[in-house]
Amino acid sequence: MSIKITIPFPIPSQEKPRIGKYGNWYSPTSKFCEDLQLYVAGQMRLKKYIRLEGDVIISGNVFYSGKKSGDFDHILSTIFDGIKEVALKDDAQIMGIESFYIIQNSGQDCVVLEIREAKNLWKEGL
């Protein structure tokens, strides 16, 4: 089984972990991650997808028009936070990532994701 979702808007970089007022580390969660989870949940309901419970491989292309917007690893982190608990039970299920950051001269900023079960992929080849 696989889940295919297009996110038709740009993804901001995840904020970096920081030290709190009392010396504890925390990672700020943005309102955007919550909105992304709601969007992904809506798309999953619309397309009648069910949450994947086993190991998965994620293929994703991030399309931006114009100049580069943020660090690619932080953008991926935002995407993973946006799909966990909705498309996945936990991001510990992610066994592999195939992803590209594509800068284009024109067109719409978007992310095209495919999340597929990893159980038979190792035998078949990626």
The one-letter amino acid code at 91 reads D
- In sign, the C-alpha dihedral spanning 38, 18, 91, 7 is positive
In this model, does residue 125 exceed pLDDT 70?
no
Distances (CA, A) of 122 to 56, 100, 125: 11, 21, 5
Rounded to two decimals, the pTM is 0.76
Which of the following CATH numbers is that of domain 2-124: 3.30.450.40, 3.30.1330.70, 3.40.50.1220, 3.30.930.10?
A: 3.30.1330.70
Summarised one tens digit per residue, pLDDT across range 90-119 is 888 999 999 888 888 777 888 899 999 987
DSSP label at residue 30: P
Sequence spans of domains, the chain: 2-124
Summarised one tens digit per residue, pLDDT across range 20-73 is 888 887 776 667 778 888 898 999 999 999 999 999 999 989 888 877 667 778
DSSP label at residue 54: S
